[in-house]
Each structure stands twice: as structure tokens, then as C-alpha cells.
């Protein structure tokens, strides 16, 4: 029995690490083949690195600055988020750097605005968002603003993708200023701004839709077995409780109870399955909520 549990744990860890490496590879593919060729400005320190690499027309400069900035942010993650999160983020970043250096030069579309630049931006944003969500689900990150996103998401209970939008303000302004200083033309600067905004929102929304640890929902259960349902809620998630209200059926006039609990989208599928198993005749619904108290507990990433 003990050996079987150890084997299961080892297989799960192996799966996690494989997905961590895969997320790094996907993110590198998004950067090398879609984002960088489209000349959009990334968020956070990556945005500063891309802006300088565009200005000096040096791919190697981007990689060098990327390594320096990620080293600083990974140190912050180790000190302020968690060791597991920092180490897994390190694995992702190392995979990204290796892939950026080793992947062959390919060209999938013409990056000029009159050709397929929008396709590069959209697909790159989707692919980057998927890679970020995959890393977060396996207790890591792709580094940069995702590390700050994890920190502030835990502190303020906000979706991690929201931080990317705020992190993009400084990097985008810096990149656009360099673009104007280099070319002296206002029109391409506005064009770059539009495509950069599209990339940022696509990647952030993809991340928020796939990684729902910090999205909060209220689950409402109408049941006659309120005690059993309440015990199911507390046993399924040790940090969750519930409120109880009495009700009367408008048609049947029979008494029932309304059980409400506030959980994350990440916990929702398991909670619904457990409640249905406890009371198959229960009726439930759920809806997203905003503005929850900072006292609400969400387990740290990693």
C-alpha cells in the first residue's frame, strides 16, 4: 500500500515537471516565432528587454537582458512567494532561455502590418496565455510579471492576468518612446501600440480563463439534507464553511434549506461532484462574485 502511494506520488511529480518544461517550451515558441517577429512590446521587464532589442536590432541582447531580469525576479519569488514556486519558475525560465537559443529560425507569416501581423499577435498571445496558465497550474510561472502577479494575487485576491495589464504601462511607454526616437515617425508608434494592446489583452484573458485559482464564486445548494451537504462542504475543503437559510417551496409548500458557500473556480468542480454524491436530488447554481474581504483564504501558489 505504501509502495503504491509512493509510486503514485512519483508519477504525479513527474507529470508536473513534464508540464512545467512543456510550458516553458510553449512560451519560447510564442516569443521566438510570433511575438518578437511582430515587434510588439511585452509586459514588465520583458517589455524593456524587447524594446531595447528592437532599438539595437539584437536578438542576443533580448536573451541577455531576459536572463538578468528573470534572475532578479526569481530571487524575489524565492523570498516573498514560496520556494517551490520559485524553483518551478526557474525551471520554466531555464527552458525558455534554452529554447530561444536552440530553436531553429523559422518564419510562419509576414510580420508587416499589411500582411499577417495581426495573426502573429493573436496566436502569440493565445499561446503565451496557455503557457502561463499551464505553468501556474503546476505551481510555477513563466517569470517576469507572473511572479509579481502571483504575489499580488495572493495579497489582494485578484486574477493573476490582471497584473500584466498594469505591468505593461511602463514597458509599453518605454518601448514606444524608443521606437519614436529611432524612427522619428509617429504613425508606426501608434501602430505598434495597437498591436501591443491586442497582445496584452489576449494573453491576459487567456490566462485568466484557463487559470481560475483567484476567481471567486458563490455556490448555492437547495436541499433537504442540509446537514449532510454542510458536512460535505467542510470535508471537501478544510478552509471553507457555509451559511444556512430556511425556505418553503412556492409550489409544493414543503420546507427545505438553502446552503451557500464561497469557493474558488478551482475548487468548484470537486465541490459540485461531492454535493451531488451526497444529495442527488439537490438543486444548485453558482455565480461569480467581486469585492471579497481580504480575510478570505486562498492557498498560496506552490
Domain 216-288 has CATH 3.30.70.120: yes
Higher pLDDT, 5 or 255: 255
User: Cα–Cα distance between 232 and 110 in angstroms, integer?
Assistant: 56
| Averaged pLDDT for residues 123-136 | 93
Q: What is the pTM of this model?
A: 0.82
pLDDT value at residue 26: 95
Per-residue pLDDT at 167 exceeds 80:
no
Residues of CATH 3.30.70.120 domain(s) within the chain? 216-288
* Cell 524553483 belongs to residue: 87
User: Cα–Cα distance between 14 and 1 in angstroms, integer?
Assistant: 20
pLDDT value at residue 107: 74
pLDDT value at residue 111: 63
| Averaged pLDDT for residues 116-145 | 90
C-alpha cell at 67: 536572463
pLDDT value at residue 113: 58
| Averaged pLDDT for residues 195-220 | 88
User: Cα–Cα distance between 116 and 122 in angstroms, integer?
Assistant: 10
| Averaged pLDDT for residues 25-47 | 91
Angle of helix 186-210 relative to helix 117-137, nearest 10 degrees, comes to 30
Per-residue pLDDT at 2 exceeds 90:
no
pLDDT value at residue 161: 67
Per-residue pLDDT at 163 exceeds 60:
yes
| Averaged pLDDT for residues 151-156 | 76
- Give the phi and the psi of residue 38 in degrees, each rounded to 5: -85, -5
Sheet containing strand 216-223, strands side by side: 243-248, 255-264, 216-223, 283-288
Q: What is the share, in percent, of the chain residues with pLDDT greater than 90?
A: 46
User: Cα–Cα distance between 283 and 222 in angstroms, integer?
Assistant: 5
Contact present, 32 and 99 (Cβ < 8 Å) = yes
| Averaged pLDDT for residues 130-159 | 84
Query: What is the C-alpha R_g of the chain?
Result: 23
pLDDT value at residue 171: 85
pLDDT value at residue 109: 63
Picking from 300, 289, 290, the residue whose alpha carbon sits closest to that of residue 260 is 289
| Averaged pLDDT for residues 133-142 | 90
Picking from 55, 215, 76, the residue whose alpha carbon sits closest to that of residue 148 is 76
User: Cα–Cα distance between 212 and 197 in angstroms, integer?
Assistant: 23
Higher pLDDT, 58 or 115: 58
pLDDT value at residue 60: 92
Picking from 203, 156, 159, 212, the residue whose alpha carbon sits closest to that of residue 47 is 203
Categorize the per-residue pLDDT at 139 as very low, low, confident or very high, splitting at 50, 70 and 90.
confident
* Cell 458557500 belongs to residue: 261
Contact present, 120 and 106 (Cβ < 8 Å) = no
What does the pLDDT look like over 232-280, one tens digit per residue?
A: 999 998 889 999 999 888 888 888 999 999 998 889 999 999 999 999 9
The stretches of the chain forming alpha helices (DSSP H) are: 2-30, 44-56, 59-80, 83-102, 117-137, 145-156, 160-183, 186-210, 226-236, 268-278
pLDDT value at residue 233: 94
Provide the CB-side half-sphere exposure for 42 (13 A, CA): 29
pLDDT value at residue 164: 66
User: Cα–Cα distance between 17 and 21 in angstroms, integer?
Assistant: 6
Contact present, 60 and 68 (Cβ < 8 Å) = no
Per-residue pLDDT at 150 exceeds 90:
no
Per-residue pLDDT at 116 exceeds 80:
no
Amino acid at each position: 500500500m505504501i509502495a503504491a502511494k509512493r509510486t503514485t506520488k512519483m508519477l504525479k511529480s513527474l507529470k508536473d515537471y513534464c508540464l512545467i518544461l512543456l510550458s516553458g517550451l510553449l512560451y519560447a515558441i510564442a516569443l521566438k516565432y510570433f511575438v518578437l517577429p511582430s515587434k510588439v512590446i511585452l509586459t514588465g521587464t520583458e517589455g524593456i528587454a524587447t524594446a531595447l532589442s528592437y532599438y539595437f536590432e539584437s536578438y542576443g541582447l533580448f536573451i541577455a537582458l531576459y536572463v538578468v531580469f528573470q534572475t532578479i525576479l526569481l530571487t524575489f519569488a524565492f523570498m516573498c512567494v514560496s520556494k517551490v514556486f520559485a524553483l518551478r519558475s526557474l525551471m520554466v525560465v531555464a527552458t525558455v532561455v534554452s529554447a530561444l537559443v536552440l530553436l531553429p529560425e523559422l518564419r510562419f507569416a509576414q510580420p508587416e502590418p499589411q500582411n499577417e501581423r495581426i495573426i502573429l499577435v493573436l496566436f502569440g498571445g493565445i499561446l503565451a496565455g496557455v503557457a502561463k496558465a499551464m505553468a501556474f497550474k503546476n505551481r510555477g510561472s513563466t517569470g517576469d510579471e507572473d511572479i509579481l502577479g502571483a504575489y499580488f494575487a495572493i495579497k489582494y485576491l485578484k486574477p493573476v492576468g490582471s497584473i500584466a495589464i498594469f505591468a505593461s504601462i511602463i514597458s509599453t511607454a518605454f518601448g514606444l518612446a524608443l521606437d519614436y526616437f529611432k524612427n522619428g515617425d509617429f504613425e508606426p508608434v501608434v501602430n505598434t501600440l495597437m498591436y501591443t494592446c491586442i497582445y496584452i489583452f489576449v494573453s491576459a484573458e487567456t490566462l485568466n480563463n484557463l487559470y481560475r485559482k483567484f476567481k471567486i464564486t458563490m455556490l448555492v445548494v437547495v436541499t433537504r439534507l442540509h446537514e449532510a451537504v454542510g458536512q460535505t462542504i467542510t470535508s471537501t475543503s478544510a478552509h471553507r464553511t457555509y451559511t444556512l437559510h430556511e425556505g418553503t417551496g412556492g409550489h409544493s409548500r414543503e420546507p427545505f434549506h438553502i446552503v451557500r458557500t464561497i469557493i474558488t473556480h478551482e475548487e468548484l468542480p470537486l465541490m459540485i461532484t461531492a454535493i451531488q454524491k451526497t444529495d442527488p436530488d439537490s438543486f444548485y447554481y453558482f455565480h461569480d462574485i467581486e469585492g471579497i474581504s481580504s480575510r478570505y483564504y486562498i492557498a498560496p501558489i506552490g
